[in-house]
């Protein structure tokens, strides 16, 4: 059946309220200014490993997690007010439902839970969308555009088919609308991100006793991920990166299978997920308990670069300027060529969340994650925090996880 989160328990946790989902849809409808648009949940079935996940923007608008083939249609041409924003769900199929889960009939209970006054089957969507296009003559793309040679985005592909059948229909680019809304977090969203961060901090604490010579990267990863769930998280927000020695220089290393050796550095990039919202944290630890002089020198430069970037991350600033602040520190220290990635990204429903055009704004959460990598020395260092942009500056949401060189060494001593 279609599921939605329960009402928010508080402004610091729980779930997004039904009224907030409804308000999100109203904002999109108003911003379309008379154009019709559709947001698809995506196709597919539950995999044998993991679970099926809907398109993040569909989830943002509905809270529905388990309805492949669903869609939300924004139809300003509808004569009936209750049909201007309609949820479409795939038809019932009793044989399929015996494999994937039983689903309910359309009725008042389903409408009350989802907050949609009108719910229809997806088999009706082509006719309703074509009628909307004939009357509005404007179709707005909300799904992000793809780059060639990938197939066109789902709504653009559908709109092109409609335009072949309805003369005079204009297809418009409104792909920045949902990113601009999703990037600014509500109190409920921030509450869930704080819950994910609290579980992540507990996971990092659980890892400390295991960072010893002779242990294995996998032992550390498993201890952290078990702790996330024990602390109420739904699991990991992404595959944990736990890489030591040469593996610390591989940005997306995921084997997590090598033994830890004294003198190596261990990079841990891991975060929990809570009710669909992600944390994303990276710390670097000396396996022997203390940094060597060479390691400490590079580590301090990364810390300085991060501090400069965090200071630059404020309302009105673009992420390119935040990146430049960190890069200036690395260039001055002679480490410019070792910083091979960007400074960070938006964080939210997706760990690499959608990025709207324009500068940072209050309510956005971004990662700041400078790093340097020297494969020839088997030395990699990355430090990452989750930063909330505020009207007066910013707030480090993950600063409870030790990262100063002395703090890290003290944490490893227990």
| Cα–Cα distance measured from residue 4 to residue 115, given in angstroms and rounded to the nearest whole number | 9
The owner of tokens 């260092």 is 381
Residue 58 CA to residue 43 CA, distance in Å, equals 12
Q: Sign of torsion, CA 101 104 105 106?
A: negative
Radius of gyration of the chain (CA): 24
Q: Where in the chain is the domain with CATH 3.90.230.10?
A: 184-413
Enter the tokens of residue 86. Answer: 């309609």
What are the beta bridge partners of residue 74?
37, 85
Q: Is the pTM of this model over 0.85?
A: yes
For the domain 184-413, what is the CATH code? 3.90.230.10
Domain with CATH 3.40.350.10 in the chain: 18-182
From first to last of its 414 residues, what are the pLDDT tens digits of the chain?
A: 454 443 333 333 568 999 999 999 999 999 999 999 999 999 988 788 888 999 999 999 999 999 999 999 999 999 999 999 999 999 999 998 898 889 999 999 999 999 999 999 999 999 999 999 999 999 999 999 999 999 999 999 999 999 999 999 999 999 999 999 999 999 999 999 999 999 999 999 999 999 999 999 999 999 999 999 999 999 999 999 999 999 999 999 999 999 999 999 999 999 999 999 999 999 999 999 999 999 999 999 999 999 999 999 999 999 999 999 999 999 999 999 999 999 999 999 999 999 999 999 999 999 999 999 999 999 999 999 999 999 999 999 999 999 999 999 999 998
| CATH 3.40.367.20 corresponds to the domain 18-182 | no
Q: Partners of 265 in the beta sheet?
A: 286
């Amino acid at each position: 059946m279609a599921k939605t989160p329960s009402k928010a328990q508080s402004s610091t946790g729980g779930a997004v309220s039904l009224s907030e989902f409804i308000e999100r849809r109203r904002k999109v409808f108003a911003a379309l200014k008379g154009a019709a648009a559709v947001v698809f949940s995506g196709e597919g079935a539950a995999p044998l490993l993991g679970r099926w996940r809907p398109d993040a923007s569909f989830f943002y608008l509905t809270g529905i997690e388990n309805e492949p083939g669903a869609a939300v249609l924004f139809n300003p041409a509808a004569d009936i007010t209750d049909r201007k924003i309609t949820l479409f769900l795939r038809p019932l199929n009793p044989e399929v439902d015996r494999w994937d889960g039983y689903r309910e009939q359309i009725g008042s209970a389903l409408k009350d839970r989802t907050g949609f006054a009108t719910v229809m089957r997806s088999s009706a969507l082509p006719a309703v969308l074509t009628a909307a296009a004939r009357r509005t003559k404007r179709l707005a793309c909300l799904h992000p555009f793809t780059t060639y040679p990938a197939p066109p985005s789902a709504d653009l592909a559908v709109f092109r088919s409609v335009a072949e059948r309805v003369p005079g229909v204009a297809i418009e680019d409104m792909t920045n609308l949902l990113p601009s809304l999703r990037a600014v977090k509500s109190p409920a969203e921030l509450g869930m991100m704080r819950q994910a961060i609290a579980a992540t901090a507990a996971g990092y604490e659980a890892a400390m006793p295991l960072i010893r010579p002779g242990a294995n990267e996998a032992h550390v990863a498993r201890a952290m991920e078990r702790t996330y769930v024990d602390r109420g998280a739904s699991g990991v927000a992404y595959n944990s990166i736990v890489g030591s020695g040469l593996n610390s220089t591989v940005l997306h290393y995921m084997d997590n299978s090598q033994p830890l050796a004294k003198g190596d550095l261990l990079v841990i990039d891991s975060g929990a997920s809570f009710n669909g919202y992600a944390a994303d944290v990276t710390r670097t630890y000396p396996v022997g308990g203390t940094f060597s002089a060479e390691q400490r020198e590079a580590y301090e430069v990364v810390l300085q670069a991060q501090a400069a970037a965090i200071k630059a991350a404020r309302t009105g600033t673009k992420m390119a300027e935040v990146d430049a602040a960190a890069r200036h520190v690395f260039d001055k220290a002679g480490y410019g060529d070792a910083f091979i990635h960007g400074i960070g990204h938006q964080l939210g429903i997706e760990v690499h969340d959608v990025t709207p055009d324009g500068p940072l704004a209050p309510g956005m959460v971004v990662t700041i994650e400078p790093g340097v990598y020297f494969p020839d020395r088997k030395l990699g260092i990355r430090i990452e925090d989750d930063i909330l942009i505020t009207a007066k500056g910013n707030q480090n949401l993950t600063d409870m996880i030790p990262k100063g060189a002395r703090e890290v060494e003290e944490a490893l001593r227990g």
